[in-house]
Amino acid sequence: MNIDFDKMDITRTPPTEEPDRQYYFIAKCKQWAEAFKQETGRIPTACVVTFGCQMNAKDSEKLVGILEIIGYTMTSEEQADLVIYNTCTVRDNANQKVYGRLGYLNNLKKKNPYMKIGLCGCMMQEESVIEKLRTSYRFVDFVFGTHNIFKFAEILYQTIENAGNGMIIDIWKDTDQIVEELPSERKYSFKCGVNIMYGCNNFCSYCIVPYVRGRERSRSPKEIVREIEQLVADGVVEVMLLGQNVNSYGKNLEEPFTFAQLLTEVEKIEGLERIRFMTPHPKDLSDDLIEVMKHSKKICRHLHLPLQAGSTRILKAMNRHYTKEQYLELALKLRREIPDLAITTDIIVGFPGETKEDVDETIDVVKKVGYDNAFTFIYSKRTGTPAASMENPVSDAEIKQNFDRLLRVVQETAKQRAGLYAGETMEVLAEHLNEQDADYVTGRLSNNTLVHFKAEPSVIGTIVPVKLTECKGFYYMGELVSQV
């Protein structure tokens, strides 16, 4: 980002075009931060707390990128001058967590007259949440949603100007606008998430995401490739392509372009060594994609393939558009075509009407696929989704029993898969110093398994050969193989 915000003319009226308008407000906020320093003798601090998925993590990086340019010092302490919760609403407990922590923030605010509290993310797209905030959480200073996150600098400036005059609420119901080219934090110098599309059109009957993230819209392949080339020039060796349903990538572009084609283009970028992506939907995972993955030297050997349920009856009620048999056929084809692929999944237990026999079907799929890992969730009713109005005759106790039964099988299968590569030498992207012992570095195999090995910190950010000496549950201990 080569913009000199200090030299920008901010005496004029704000531009109407994006992202120029936001650059203008970043410069305005920057001027405010300078004045804050003069007044208080210190630099303002900010803390962004992220709940939920990788998309939210990426959004938070965008917020932090802007805050850093404005001149905030970032901190993980919530005793800051600005605290932003980037919320998730996929399950109700995520909402409850936010309400619980807001009370604590209010106490902190009473002690710091400069403190501002902001809320954003998926939870803010729910009308009932906004009503509750309006009536019971009036100490919150500003609220924005997922569709207008690019307006963050403008909303923050409004909040600063508005000081003490009530909550600023700016929520859009939907948008087809994509605004990029804004500053973004880079948590790691060597790996980075890249949004390839936003929203979801699938409407799985339990899921709130299509209502809070809106309709699918894809970025152009040219823009994505340009962004990745820039990242690689800045030292990135691994990218994670992000979308709620990456197989639908490109369907709504003027010139349709498939996800498999996009991967082929990204693969060509020189200097890029690893490509990951999140999340494909089993219903439209094409043979083309399997072919591209199979022959790729860069696409990582890990596929997250959400199952959600193994019973065809429940899958139909979930509106997933595949049967148990179709899913199994796909997973087994993947195992056959790409034998070193790690497959992970998401499973929901307790969907309305799901019986013990239905869960047996799920367990059957888990055993047949042999997942490397599976995230299991208890169904959470989300207001406004079709499943919310479905009766559930199954008791909570039965659901819990089913959940525990499934979890046991998931753990057993994952244990069997772990350790498959003990004794082999494999490439590891060294990511950070080991948290327990700084003589060790922690990295990841292409299949996403963690490896701890003794090495100098200088290896961080590079891909090195490591002999996997011992498997300890879900990670390996290894020895760096000298490269002569």
**Site residues (vs ligand 5AD, CB under 6 A):** 90-91, 206-207, 306, 308, 346, 348, 377, 379-380, 382
Q: Which does 60 bind (CB under 5 to 8 A by kind): ligand SF4, ligand 5AD, none?
A: none
Token pair, residue 160, equals 């600063």
Q: Which does 104 bind (CB under 5 to 8 A by kind): ligand 5AD, ligand SF4, none?
A: none
Backbone angles phi, psi at 404, to 5 degrees: -65, -40
User: How many residues are there in the chain?
Assistant: 484
* Paired residues of 35 in beta bridges: none
Q: Minimum distance from CB of 114 to ligand SF4 (Å)?
A: 38
Q: Minimum distance from CB of 53 to ligand 5AD (Å)?
A: 6
Q: Minimum distance from CB of 207 to ligand 5AD (Å)?
A: 4
Q: Which does 277 bind (CB under 5 to 8 A by kind): ligand 5AD, ligand SF4, none?
A: none
Token pair, residue 164, equals 């003490």
Q: Which does 210 bind (CB under 5 to 8 A by kind): ligand SF4, ligand 5AD, none?
A: ligand SF4
Nearer to ligand 5AD, 219 or 304 (CB): 304
Which of 176, 175, 146, 154 is closest to 21 using CA atoms?
154
Nearer to ligand SF4, 140 or 200 (CB): 200
Q: Minimum distance from CB of 285 to ligand 5AD (Å)?
A: 15
Nearer to ligand 5AD, 171 or 390 (CB): 390
Measured from each CB, the residue nearest to ligand 5AD is 346
Q: Minimum distance from CB of 320 to ligand 5AD (Å)?
A: 10
Q: Which does 247 bind (CB under 5 to 8 A by kind): ligand SF4, ligand 5AD, none?
A: none
Residue in this structure with the two tokens 């994670």, named with its chain if needed: 240
Q: Minimum distance from CB of 362 to ligand SF4 (Å)?
A: 16
Query: Footprint of ligand SF4 on this chain (CB under 6 A)?
Result: 200, 202-204, 207, 209-210, 244-245, 281
